[in-house]
Amino acid sequence: MDKVTLSNKNITPFGGLNFIYDALSRSGIDKFIDQKIGSRSVMAKYSYADVVLSLFGNTLMDFEDIRQACSKIKVWKTIRINHEVKEVASIFYQPKNCKKHIVLLLLATKEKMDK
């Protein structure tokens, strides 16, 4: 049988990254977002700032997955962009918890030293 524990701790949209949420709250960005976008319905449980910060937290987690995928790239192609030599690679990324086959095509670049 599962045990249910009641907690009075605040739940944040950043999960384990509470220190980021605290820093953003201290900076006043949540109030700024609500000021610029406006307030939601009285019936709404979350403000626009809560929604935006939640999406930001999800993006941070996805960015970490993409960063790890970039470190595994073995084949880079050399191209010249605005007289600068760059190496590019295509990354096919699928979120871990995605039931459907959704793949993003990203273009990653890294600096290449001219020899």
Which strands form 84-93's sheet, in the order they lie side by side? 77-81, 84-93, 104-111
Q: Which amino acid is at 24?
A: L
With cut-offs at 50, 70 and 90, classify the pLDDT of residue 46.
Answer: confident
Can you tell me the distance from the alpha carbon of 25 to that of 72, in angstroms, rounded to the nearest whole number? 35
Give DSSP secondary structure letters for 38-80. ----TT-SS-HHHHHHHHHHHHHHHHHHHHHHHHT----EEEE
pLDDT more than 70, % of the chain: 32
- Where are the chain's structural domains? 10-65, 73-115
Q: State pLDDT tens for residues 56-85.
A: 766 666 666 666 666 666 666 666 666 666
